[in-house]
Chains A and B, each alone.
Chain A
Amino acid sequence: MRIEFTLNGSAIDLNVPDGMTLLNLLRDRLAVHGVKHGCESGECGACTVLVDGVPINACVMLAPKAQGRDLRTIESFGEHPLHGWRNSAGLHPLQKAFIETGAIQCGYCTPAMVLVADALLSKNPSPTEAEVRESLSGVLCRCTGYLKPVQAILRAAAVLRGEQIEEVSELIPISPELFNSLDFSESDYVYGEEDLQLQTKVGLLPQMQVSQDWETRHTVGRPEPKVDAMKLVQGKSAFTADIEMRGMLTAKLLHSPVAHAEIRSIDTSKALELPGVVAVLTWQDLPRVVYSTAGQSDPIPGPLDTFSLDKKVRFVGDRVAFVAAETEDIANEALALIEVDYKILPAFFEAAQAMEENAPQIHDEPEYVDFGDSDAKRNLAAKIRIDIGDVERGFDEADHIFEETYQVPKVQQAHIEPHVVVTYWDEDDRLVIRCSTQVPFHVRRQLSPVLNLPAKRIRVIKPRIGGGFGGKQEVMIEDVAAHLTIATGRPVRFEYTRAEEFYAARSRHPMSITMKTGVKNDGTITANSMICLSDTGAYGCHALTVTGNTGHKGMALYVGDGKYRQSPNIRFYADVVYSNTPPAGAYRGYGVPQGFWAVDRQMENIARALDLDPLEFRLKNALRAGELQPFSTAWSEGREPQPEIINTCGLEDCVRQGARAIGWDSKFGVSAWKDVPGKPHLKRGIGVATVMQGTAIAYLDMGGASIKMNDDGSFNLLVGATDLGTGSDTVLAQQAAEVLGVPIDDIVVYSSDTDFTPFDKGAYASSTTYISGAAVVIAAEKVAERIRIRAANMLMKAGRREIGPQDLRLSDRKVVAPDGSSVTLEEVALNSLHHEDQEQIMAVGSYVSPVSPPPFAAQFAQVQVDIETGQVVVEKLIMAVDAGVIINPLTASGQVEGGMTQALGYGVCEEMRYDDAGNPREVDFHDYHIFSANEMPELQTIFIETVEPTHPFGVKAVAEIPIDGVAPAVGNAVLDACGAAVNAAPITPERVWTALKGSS
């Protein structure tokens, strides 16, 4: 039908199909890419549009309903302040505030947040924090934890009211003394009205106990705005799907409706006859190449058990056929026309059934390639047996033995941008794969045999990523579009729906973990054992390495005290088994959250049983600086294990500062505090969990960077590292800027493209700041050295006395001699490129680490429990983290806040379950509940800086550790509140109620 409306001030008059959504109209017909696709049922809000000033979700609005309305999208807001000779008003105050406060991570939901904020402030210029949170209630964010977006909106409101606002950089604490003098118990309201219901600290930076050389740095350690924030806050066409190509087809995937079956036959004739269908592919059309979808370095440390299309399906949602059609509707219609004859096979959905005698064999294909101890006949994807020390002797030496079994659920990464890929042949007949991936170089390497195309004939481009959290450390859908481009010769776009994300993507491995711990009367741990049964689902991607980390990190933290410190007794056995459920895979934390759910709940139980102070008990037995990482000699994700000494450990300070921040001494064990006045059915509780993670994979994973100097003294930094919203491009630029003596604005960062950027393993294993950062520093130092050599010559020619490069330092865009004389970087650049002895000043750096220095953290939680119904409300989460030197306190605290929020879902509400036929319970955000802005607890981040000597600036990782401790801390707080020992996560009301019934 014909409709007329106004879009960002311009009149639009066009014909649309009656059934077209406003989202499809805006994105596909009008190229308004600031409106994003995150779901099809309105729950995520990424597609927010202002209609007559009111925010709505375009995915659930039919385009004809726009008739006569005034539509506004992010494209109507501000723009970059530099537009050449044309004057620009610059960004809108809301956009500025989102950048300044670090409210943008992946940026996929940022346009939506800015729009709802604008709608709020246009009617209510002085909102309370609760009103701001309510305005954000329709926009789900998986990255930020909402704290910084709330701060951004309050800050913008103040600006729009004409108030003076402090610069973000002025708020940073500068010394441990200042940190120590801070009182964390009171909120400090600066913007808006005081709101007693919710407490957000509006100080924009985290509390920091900074390292001593903090003041000597000019960029590292500063809250620099994200280098990609400007485009993200404008909703620019920066993501994979934001590309228009003539003749582009839409791909769809036929998923299996049954959990386990052989495909007797597939008839695609009716689908192919449908006008608009260009290709239908089944297993009979494709080369039969077995591979692994796990995006990991070569060789893949896991079984090869996957085909692009197979003659067997192994879970509800498994692949059956690919379709490419002129439109999405036609492609969907074609799926319904494919006739498949399934021979149903017995199936099972519980890991415990996998190795039973008569269990059906899920992988009986002859092409299956084992890795390590995998055994497809027994449905065993991986097996680990590690004994450190003499565990049985340790148990014999104990005064007490504690044994308990704990469970953790399968959960979804739930990045708001779904998996998406666009493929096309370029003018050189090379296959271009533009995809939302954490591992572009692995995509190229691993797909090469699958597509029967040499790697050199494949180019992988990674644009901005709308969140990944490990879900995109998988070569998962790129092959679908690639096969269809090969089949049709045409560009193909393939994007998962939200439902597909739930039934046909990856997830966190569910596990059942039995702990057995020997302890002496004084609290010394003499031996600790973990027996783990992990469910990898229908395919073994990441099976070995995820579960390996469950023990490698979780079981490494508590070595025991006294003689056990030198010779700990630790056992970690794991079986990773197949089942007829969607495959598990990589998810932020990579096995470690599972481990710490069991380990830390066990520690809490022991402390309580022996009446030990839970903080002192943990610290008494915890790993310390100077000690051996006990697993380093037993198991490695990379090559052969090699001993690693812990250089830095700020755990004790994390515990001390975190405890002070949450008021531990006035709450723990204080019965008066636990009571809620007038509500005898409510009890408060407080809990802690101490955790550690790793930083990169030692001896294996490599990062690379190149830096090129430009005529004006600026630099191009090209990295293969993949910023999936974390801010890694920014912290890499900061490290380059620090070495080169320039502001971060002078570093033009590009990531990543397999044709242009150096190799990098990709974004996983908490490695980018550390590994890729070290590579950047190496490249920058090489460039700096060339600059100093040339500058020394220039200074001497200018009449200065003899001077050597070693005498010069780079600072403030200049090369400065000890006597204060200097040449500018621009002068050096012009000299090198145009004037004499011309050369391109450029260098490449690469780095592989021999160690994986662990970050440490203390996670605190405060809860309120309804002891009659079991309902738990988490009131406060505080995490004190030793992540080494913090390169950027804004992005780093954003990692912690977002990680805690994801982990909160793991703790209390997120869980993927299946019925007796393997059908999923959760296929949307209606049933799979992730926290929204208006139900969040108070969040607080504290950084305890240590200086890790193996990195040029002393950094360790911060990305994954925030997800490790929340669930056990909440579990421990529930135990503290009411005595309910809930051993299975998530801690649902019924589980608490059941535990209370059992304890009574």
Chain B
Amino acid sequence: MSQPLSAEAARARALLSATARQGRGKMARPVLLGLASIACGLAQAWFMAHLLATLLGHGASGWPDLMAAAALALLGIGLGVAQERAQADAGAAARAGLRRRAFARLLALGPADPRPAGERAALVVDRIEALDGYFARWLPAAILAAAGPLLIAVAVASEDPLSGVILFAAGALVPVGMAITGIGAALASRRQFDALQALSGRFLDRMRGLPQIVLFGRQDSEARALGAAADELRGRTMRVLRVAFLSGLSLEVIAAAVLGCLAWRHGNLLVGGHPDPQAALFCLLMVPGFFAPLRAFSAAYHERMAANGAAAALAPLLAEENAETGLLLAEMPPSVVVTFEHVGLTYDPSRGPALRDLSFRVLPGEALVLAGASGAGKSSVLRLLMGFARPDSGRIAFNGRDATSLRPSELRRLSAYVGQKAHLFRDSIRNNIALARPEATDAEILAAARAAHVTDFADALPQGLDTQVGEGGYGLSGGQAQRVAMARAFLRNAPLVLLDEPTAHLDPGTEAELLDSLRRLCAGRTAIIATHSPALRARFSRVLEMADGRASVARMAGE
């Protein structure tokens, strides 16, 4: 948003035209079919002009001509259907390509992206769907709007040059009128899309917190606030449409004027007896056909503006697109020595550094417990090890090699990680565990579930491990959800174990049981565990006390 709009618009346009170029083959088919359909319309009008002239006493055509015209009409309709199908194909192909790229970028940005999930999902769903009109309708319509009327004007000019000139002139005026009205509309369209996105973000946010709203009895005022937001959106959208519809208005004025001019021209000729009545009728009959591609263009113009707005939001995301850099692991090391040397990390300069000058080393078979008040930087250590953030200073080494030179996804292959707010997906308990290693056998999943004490409660459920959980673990208590998340770490079977508050939400009894299996999980592996729990600290020998982003006291058990 801070970028000047022209640069932003240019990037949006570049994205759209680059995508169009890639799909050139698919984009050409609807245009060719559309031109063929227009040619059918011309031939049909020629036959009909002769029929009409015959009726009016000028010429001699009859039923065979009527049949020919009808056949041409059917052929034209058939070509139109084929054109629509070709358009749908072109749009779908373009969307699929863009969706894959945008989603890859969102995954690469990772949890550091501050935008709400709903807003990010809107980028790969709504914004990309909004581009469909550009590829499926606007592009073919734009080409047909230039080529179709030209074809018709030439045909008309060959029958009556002055009528042809009138059509040429009108055809030239149409884009002028649209361009004038289109500039303002393009600006307004961007604002409308921002409003739409904010509205959908607000709905998701309020829906996810619906229980809180109900508990505090605020549903009425929230409904009013949502109404006000929707009203504001209506105001913005109507401002866009007032301008956008002007392009339709200019087209209608020109179409009506052309009809008037042609009627007047051929009416005036009549005073002296019309020299070529068939030509006069042919000109008049072709007026709707002349404007049909322009009308389709005008309708699709709206789509282009919508697409520009969506493309402007996508362009910054896709601009930074580059092949994932960093090294791949030659082979999976059986064990990992983790070394932090003077590591510093700052998320947001205004809030000060999250980590400063932090150094420690953890050997295979060791478990390092990170302790300290909330905000002391415990989670940041784990985030760095997971590649969710990059250190600003200092060095992180795995087995002596710089860890940041590894591709983030490779870094993560080394670790079993359970975050503070581990997310359970709307799926069965079994599949939620299997997420950590999809190729795991049922026996392995069961073993992991048992180790994390998931089976303690799952066995009592009618469907056991196949019980469905709701999004975010709905249907399970906080402690149960935590155990499912822990089961993932058991199943993962990675040399490095990273746990953030593994026993939060657990009662002391369950915590004690889980701690036993936690020790088994850490045995022989390198483990780093952030926790508040005194019980957990008591179980492990090495504790690093953190305060304000640095180590305050390191102590070994027994010291």
Co-assembled chains A and B: no
Chain B residues engaging chain A, CB cutoff 8 angstroms: none
